[in-house]
Amino acid sequence: MLAYAPAALLFLVFCVSVLLERRKFSNAVVLGLAVLCALGALLYRLVSSESPSVPYVVGALVALAAVALLVLVCFLFLNGVRMLRKEGRSPAHLLSLLAAFAVLGVVALLVAAAVLRTPVLIGVAWAAGGLALYFSFLFLCFVCYAFLYGRLQVRRKADFVVVLGSGLIGGSTVPPLLASRLKRGREVHERLSRRGGSPVLITSGGQGPDEKLPESHAMADHLVAEGFSADLIQREDRSRNTEENLRFSKEIMEAAKPDYRCVVVTNNYHAFRAALIARRVRIRGQVVGSPTAAYFWPNAMLREFAAILVDYRQSNAAMCVIIVLGGVAAWWAS
């Protein structure tokens, strides 16, 4: 059982960290490390058991991993094609396709290095494989913890419900993506009201260069048209991105009630990154997500992950340098 001690310790650290502050990316990494240590301990016990079935089990695991990789590539490719058909050709809609080709490229490079065994190829394959494992691990941590975060209970009381904007169709019409946020915001508002509160709903979004009015105004009009009371709506109409959404909404909330609590509403794929930003700007509240079309979710999650990598660019750059240096060392030793 001693082999499982690191996994148990990491899981304990994860639980304590979530209780203290759930809006941290380090929570995702610690959870991922705990699972990785548990799997490593399980594999160690399996190999050290000296059972005659060990080679068959290891072979089955390798075959399963290969099949899973093939399924992943096919899924990413098909999702990328569907995104282009439904959402149009845009760099932001190519991430699923790019991820599929990146996986194929790394696999091809590893196979070429194993077959040809030239020093340069071995070094490049070590670096590419290391980078692929590093980013794959972080992405799995991100997806799993984002899933868990989205299912944490909303606090019983809040003074404000903040709905983040996401762009308008034709410069004035609320699109389905934003309508789902508004619907979720209204549901949260009604639930808080039933608990005895009287929260204010803040629609947050400024006016883009191609929009006829601020997003917050279109959002408020949409809510009123759906029967929501205009007296319960306040508009934040200066922001241009998620961080400004939260900063300017924070100013409104602090002016009305310095010790406020709030619930921020966005789409489910965006909820965890919005929570990280909310922590950075010191928003006192939790972020919840509204449903998103299934075909849209994988590409959107890849985009959110890329944005998080940029947010933590210094630590990621340091890790990439270390991995690349490992590839150089492998080339030198070949």
pLDDT, residue 196, reads: 80
Residues contacting 169, CB < 8 A, separation 6+: 175
Tell me the C-alpha distance between 64 and 56, whole Å.
Answer: 12
Position 61 scores a pLDDT of 79
CA torsion angle 185 92 275 245 (round to 10): -60
Q: What is the pLDDT of residue 282?
A: 95
d(CA 33, CA 10): 7
Give the count of beta carbons closer than 10 Å to the beta carbon of residue 222: 17
Q: How many CA atoms lie within 13 A of 300 on its CB side?
A: 18
The pLDDT of residue 44: 83
- pLDDT of the residue at 131: 96
Location of structure tokens 């148990």: 8
Q: How confident is the prediction along the chain (334 residues), in pLDDT tens digits per residue?
A: 777 899 999 999 999 999 999 999 999 999 999 999 999 888 888 778 777 777 877 788 788 888 988 898 998 999 888 888 887 777 778 899 999 999 999 999 999 999 988 999 999 999 999 999 999 999 999 999 999 998 887 767 899 999 999 888 888 889 989 999 999 999 999 999 888 888 999 999 999 888 889 999 999 999 999 999 999 999 999 999 999 999 999 999 999 999 999 999 999 999 999 999 999 999 999 999 998 888 889 999 999 999 999 999 999 999 999 999 999 998 888 7
